[in-house]
Amino acid sequence: MNKSATKVLKTLEHVGGFASAQEVHQLITRQGDRIGLTTIYRALQSLQKDNFVDVLRRDDGEAIYRLCGNEHHHHLVCKKCGRTVEIEGGVIEKWAETVANKNGFRDVGHSAEIFGTCSDC
């Protein structure tokens, strides 16, 4: 695994949940590192191939990635300003597990996000 892939991995770790390639790119460049979007995509592809990350699709078709096999939490995101609140999702974990078992699914993960407008907007 090379430098860029490691950086992407760390970023995803810090995020603790799902992030798109473009979001990862923003997060990394915002903290001063210069890196091309292409490199992010290539790093994510490689991480995916090696089963370090999990891929899903948002409703708008954008791909979102997250570390495999990590504990995670969920997000409450403001649609206007992007403010994000980390929330505890114990209920969801149980719900996902129960539903999956009931239907004979294994190797189970889930995604859950809440969107809205925050009090400042």
Tell me which residues touch DNA (CB under 7 A).
2-5, 20-22, 34-39, 41-43, 45, 61-63
The first and second tokens of residue 13, run together, are 């770790």
Q: Which does 51 bind (CB under 5 to 8 A by kind): its own copies, DNA, none?
A: none
Q: Residues 16, 20, 29, 110: which binds its own copies (CB under 8 A)? A: 110
Q: Which does 71 bind (CB under 5 to 8 A by kind): its own copies, DNA, none?
A: none
Helix, coil or strand: residue 13: helix
- Within 13 Å and on the Cβ side, how many CA atoms surround 88? 2
The first and second tokens of residue 105, run together, are 């699914």
The first and second tokens of residue 57, run together, are 């699709």
Q: Closest approach of Cβ 83 to its own copies, in Å?
A: 9
